[in-house]
Chains A and B, each alone.
Chain A
Amino acid sequence: MERRFYFLAGDALSNAIMGMASAWLATSIVDHTWHMLTAMLAGMAAGMGLSLILMPLFVGLFGAMEVMLPVMLTAMLAGMAFGMADSMYVLTTLEVLLGGGLSGILVLLLTYAADVIMHGKRL
């Protein structure tokens, strides 16, 4: 697993920003009049679209696949979760940004765990 501070900090920053931005965008699009499922799908699409715009910046600074995969997963999941949540509850901007950022860090930790399991000689 990655141990260099620059890349660990970059991974955390990229995923936190992506999570916050996706959650904010999803809740900007969706409101309580939307059906939960439609809101979830719209949030996911918004997150994915946003990740394609922000990704080149993160990739250029911090790495290719190591950044692309968790960041895209964060964008999808944060968009889905907060799109769905915004169709059911009233969320404050602080809750959206904090929750989005935390979901990004959670996704990053899960990909680190997957990497630890898969890393090393396979043949």
Chain B
Amino acid sequence: MEESTRSKWDFSSSFYDLLAYGPERRWAPYKRDLFANMNGKVLFVAVGTGQDIRFFPPGRDIVGIDISPRMLVKAKPRAANYTGSLDLRVMDVHKLEFFDHSFDQIVTSCTFCSVPKPVAALTALRRVLKAGGMLYMFEHTGSYVFPFNILLDVMTPLWKPIGPEMNRDTVVNVEKAGFEIQQVNNIYLDVVKTIVATSPA
């Protein structure tokens, strides 16, 4: 487990919910729509303080992982209120402790802006996803459009020490990891988006 990443998110756990109030409410309808697709055995990556748990459809079988133990301490009361099976574990997405093809679906939410090695982590996710299984992502990425691309490049080194990178090309990273992209849906500009992909059979 990468110690620096864990330390960063352990530190951020103390003020994460304060900064997430606006974003979580703004993105609520889009996340609820995306998470409504959850079915079968689901792996939710980077559950954080559990802000997303309220958007999970009831009665699902979900394993939630996060690299930060302190984030998960905050997530536990929210997980306890979930009306379904939700198992939270401390785990590094680069080193998943699951057997191959263990999950029917994988869901991420603002995860791949922060994962240190995104292609390696996505490749690890593909290993634990069943052939033909679905990957659902709600992510913010870099932009291809001026001046937003420049602004995101400028913001990245400023935010990176305590939070995410702003200029990742997550759609390309998903393809590099061997997934087949099914759909990309822009929520805000070409920056906030949902990505649906499958693991090839």
Contacts and interface: CB of A to CB of B under 8 A. Distances in A.
Question: Does chain A bind chain B?
Answer: yes
Interface of A: 2, 6-7, 10, 48, 52, 56, 58-69, 72-73, 111, 114-115, 118-123
B26 A122 contact: no
What DSSP secondary structure best describes chain A's contact surface? helix
Nearest to A63: B26
8 contacts: A52-B158, A58-B22, A65-B140, A68-B151, A69-B189, A72-B151, A118-B190, A121-B183
A121 B196 CA distance: 11
Interface string B158-184: 100000001000000000000001111
Contacts of A111: 189
B19 A60 contact: yes
Nearest to A115: B189
A7 B28 CA distance: 13
A61 B21 contact: yes
Nearest to A60: B19
Contact of B26 (A7, A69, A120, A123): A7
B90 interface: no
A47 B67 CA distance: 36
Top 6 nearest A-B pairs by Cβ distance?
Answer: A63-B26, A64-B23, A123-B184, A62-B22, A122-B184, A63-B22
Contacts of A65: 140, 166, 188-189, 191-192
Contact of A59 (B19, B166, B183): B19
Interface string B17-36: 01111110111000000000
Contacts of A6: 25
